[in-house]
Amino acid sequence: MDLFEYQGKQFFASYDMPVSPGEAVTTVEDAVAAAERLGTLVMVKAQVHTGGRGKAGGVKFAADIDAVRTHATNILGLDIRGHIVENLWIEKASDIAEEYYASFTLDRSAKKHLGMLSAEGGVEIEAVAEENPGAIAKIWVDPVGGLAEDQCRQWVLAAKLNPDVTDQTVELLMKLYGAYTDGDADLVEINPLIVTPEGRVHVLDAKVTLDGNAGFRHDLAPFDATQPRDEREAAAHAKGLQYVGLEGSVGVIANGAGLAMSTVDVVNQVGGKPANFLDIGGGANADVMSGALEVINNDPAVKSIFINIFGGITRGEEVANGIIEAMNRVDISSPIVVRLDGTNAVVGWSLLDPYLSDRLVMEPTMLDAAQKAVALVEGAAS
């Protein structure tokens, strides 16, 4: 779950980290009003879930109200790497003496948290890693023991930051680690972490990705409401389905993320284009299947539907009954190809057999089913 910059700063502020005052707005007039309350000088900053805002013209300094109005007008509706700007963050401008980079994320191969710190902030860390990898100081933190202050201090010294702000930087990084772990984040990044001319360490930008599965420990509803979703994804999310919209014509339903990804791959392999990734998880009952079929059926690009189920805990007869009941509930406009294997698959086949037709086809293997689904798309196009 990616947060907008302003949400990331609110998240950091809740862990007592120094951030600039600002207001999130959605209109030009609200941007002007926010600037009047904050007092110019301000920054007008596009809020999108992607980088490269500055290069795309999405971050502008405004010395007066007229400039705020001009920049807000130009930035709202701007396309930044395929993301249309609908929200702005009006922030009190900060003077900058030095720019650093700091982040925590998970190093899955090491099974530890990875911290990265660099005196070369303000640019993409990938560029620093490529051009001057020695400028990035890294630490690996055991999740059980956590980050000790002595370890953090050695990390700061290794990064060769301004020694006058070592204590402040250590204090802030300890808070950043606390936000990362206590907040159930997958990534916390500050770029740049600045030093002001007065010698204060300050968060100037925030990139935060939270673990959506930790919602039972946190109130993630405000963040979830601002996640970018197209109409199909919004409908699937409302039904509790794991769905990602793609640009093809073969609708995909599978149980388990790994099988769903494999299904997308095999559709591509046989010359088709998947319309989506949809994981119904361990449940394939009528309610879940109906919801999945309804979401896919509402996509006008879909010309065939490939249901790929491997029964483990989910039994074959449950899947079959779910498909039958779902077809009675939803008026399906596209033919369905089913591959059903695993626990009680034979029972499931027998239940589906009376309903087989040119609109409901059963295939024995995933490859056969993918080929049939693609062939049905090609037949619909001819």
Please identify which residue in the block is written with the tokens 């989910």.
314
Q: Kind of pairing, strands 276-279 and 336-342?
A: unpaired
User: What value, to the nearest 5°, has the Cα angle with vertex 377 and ends 374 and 378?
Assistant: 90
Interatomic CA distance for residues 336 and 61, integer angstroms: 55
Positive or negative torsion for Cα 349, 351, 353, 356: negative
Establish whether 101 is a catalytic residue: yes
Q: Which of 23, 189, 294, 318 is catalytic?
A: 189
The DSSP bridge partners found for residue 84 are 79
Burial, 344: exposed, middle or buried (Cβ in 10 Å; 0-12, 13-18, 19+)? Answer: middle
Instruction: Tell me if residue 372 falls in helix, strand or coil.
Output: helix
Establish whether 325 is a catalytic residue: no
Q: Kind of pairing, strands 112-118 and 98-107?
A: antiparallel
Q: Which of 101, 177, 180, 243 is catalytic?
A: 101
If we measure between CA atoms, which residue out of 296, 275, 362 comes closest to residue 324?
A: 362
Interatomic CA distance for residues 278 and 239, integer angstroms: 12
Written as one string, the DSSP assignment of 93-152 is ----SEEEEEEEEEETTTTEEEEEEES--SS-HHHHHHH-GGGEEEEEE-TTT---HHHH
Q: Which conformational region is residue 256 in: left (phi greater than 0), alpha (psi within -120 to 50 degrees), or beta?
A: left
List of residues 6+ apart from 364 with CB closer than 8 A? 339
- Residue 271: both structure tokens together: 């010359």
Residues forming the active site: 101, 189
